[in-house]
Structure 1
Amino acid sequence: MLKTFSLGGVHPAENKRSANSPVEVLPVPPVVSIPLAQHIGAPAQALVKKGDEVKVGQVIAQSAGFVSANIHSPVSGKVAKVDQIVDASGYRKDAIIINTEGDEWVEDIDRSAILVKEITASPEAIIKKIGEAGIVGLGGATFPAHVKLSPPPGKTCDVLIINGVECEPYLTSDHRLMLEKGEELLVGIRLLMTALNVKKAIIGIENNKPDAIAHMEKLASEYEGVRVQPLKVQYPQGGEKQLIDACMGRQVPSGKLPIEVGAVVHNVGTAYAVYEAVQKNKPLIERIVTVTGLSLARPANFLTRIGTPISVLIEAAGGLPDDTGKIIGGGPMMGKALTSTEIPVTKGTSGILLMPQPLASRKPVDPCIRCSKCVSVCPMGLSPYLLMPLAEKAIWDRAEEENIMDCIECGSCSFTCPSSRPLLDYIRLGKAKVGQIMRSRTATA
């Protein structure tokens, strides 16, 4: 029997229409807009100004603290300005705009396709290199990777878990990465194991990707301590706590991090970026993005430079369908609606979903009928039907008592609600406010 996590979950229609589409390299765009906040933590601080000339791979913004990340130029050319643009949040944020001129790279980046398997760097050197390369979690969370590799005092990791689940409907970028860059990915996993000083790594892959499971099992047989764990399809299995439960049977306590149960979780895209950073001296300047939708002419997976307007990707996939009602950054469950096609690709852009109008429209909201479906599907054991009115009525102390901060924002509650109640919308609002109150309390303690 295939493993999965023990609490809640749903199974939306998968619609993996681009699963058989090999990764295509998009041409370098004429202009890129690079937000300074592409990661969890403090926004990076710009190191360049209008008129400066830059090369591909050059540091253009420096991390502003331990939980922050460097940003590198994805193109060569001249800085047009450092200004504010509308990003995926819908708000104006600081960004560096560069006009592309040619494609000149920093000299010490190894651009060859030769696989470098031998690992010579020490754990400290690997972590340092990952931090310098600006690598963040490429599964969507965008947590700086070097921070995860530096457990707090007294905490130790005994297993590395690699997330190849890609449980969001429609998205296939991780699937294609495993099929096309499996060897590099495994070297990246060995680098992460070295950095963490662990002897065991588990690659979790859902069984709707049998080709990826077979391919990675064959390759992993040559890497000591690395094994593939096939998993039953169950959303949101890509969540850290759910994946740890599925692969190891360990439950992360409320309010705690995976390191509490001896685990560190990284996405397959992150592991590949680690390979490129440490073995090829290549910083994070591009990523694979799935562009898909039921009405899209040519669903595809594109290797795209950071900062590329999403309009370029949509055009490459056949253009914006006439019936498009919503453009979503990410997948349909956890993604967020975008306000413009000129929003740039960032480190956290895993997909662009063009949703037809009939599916994009919200249904009328009916009263809660206390059916408890939202409770039964919540993978964190919460009571969404209760958390929503607590947030509506600003009863923040009770919301905190009900563990609102444990919500992973997977959307399973909203997906299953027969009354079409916007449960997750209000829970997100509540999390933001309760989190603010908790940080204020800590600061004044």
Structure 2
Amino acid sequence: MKRMIVHCESGSTEMVLLEDERLVEYAAERSQKRGLVGSFFKGKVVNVIPGMQAAFIDIGQKKNAFLYIDDLLHPNLEKQPKPKPSIADLLRPGLELIVQVIKDAIGNKGARVSTHYSLPGRWLVYMPSAGYVAVSKKIGHEDERCRLKEIGEELRTDEEGLILRTVAEHEERKAIAEDLTLLRDQWALIKEKGERGFAPTALHHDLSMVQRLMRDAYSPETDEIIMDCPERADEASVFLNSMFPGRTPRVVVYNGEVPLFDSYGVKQQLDRDFGRKVWLPGGGYLVWDQTEALTVIDVNTGKFIGGENLEDTVFQTNLEAAQEMARLIRLRDTGGIIIVDFIDMESDSHRAHVLDKLEHCMRGDRTQHHILGWTKLGLLEMTRKRMREESTVAVAEAFPTSRGNGKGKINGMS
């Protein structure tokens, strides 16, 4: 069972997702700083830089957006020209085109945009010109993968592309077809606005943070949404009824005297889970250091002495760390390169087991990620694609934490 808890204030919304009463996702959205990922704009080329194979596009924001050559060529790799052309042969200053934001502006960088358009629905992702059908890798049963792929091929036109999402597993063809029809209509409206509008102008904005979570993760049979704003709760019920006709969503309005996040222990969990030093249930701990593009997670045995010998103690601590860091990476929305300094293990089978544990626990993360494995220095390397601005700033403002120094390993081990 999942529980979504949404706290609303004037100009801002905070949301957490709990699985088995443990936090796995947090997001904050300010009405004046709402993310742009997924939104469509009619933009104008400002500058083309052949040396970078990129162009800057005016989409009406404070900073010009960045369009890379790979995001301009055909979305199907098999249909891209080889060798790759110069971007100067494809774009010129003053040219107007429809672009979609794929990464929010972060720091001094403007938003990243693409012409590989995609519109996510409940059961599938619609790509108007990708020309292929794919099925989520998280659907493991081969018969079900084949069934969904056949449905996608039957429904799409020659130029259209579809990705059947994980939640589409065992879903009826009719529901998938209805989802596709809605997304086609949405794309047709975007194109029509693009043909009529002048650049730069917004053509379509993605769903709100809460609506995206309901679309991607909510199951009306088992899940519950708790909100402390009656008006937003009514909006959520309408949205869910449109998505799940005939099924009554469980949307609860909270009106207790204690603040909502305090009542469900959310504030305490956030304060603990966003600290630099995070204790593991067994007594070990993680030290979390983060820069703009790189995050380093250091594993320590701390107070844990439960193993039969040193190797077993280290192994058990690393297993526990792998499970907990998978949850925290998702909760913190950590992106970029992630390096994990597990405590050294002598056994190859132990290293393999820890890697398997991390991969298994990361399967619940809907964000694209790739675990590369062990480096020659014995570090574990992975990447995760973070498209929206981090929520850690909002957490730091609301829940100041004691950072601690987190130094040291067992007997100086690293």
Q: Which TM-score applies when normalising by structure 1?
A: 0.27
Larger Rg: 2
Report the structure, 1 or 2, having the larger strand content: 2
* Higher RCO (C-alpha 8 Å, min separation 6): 1
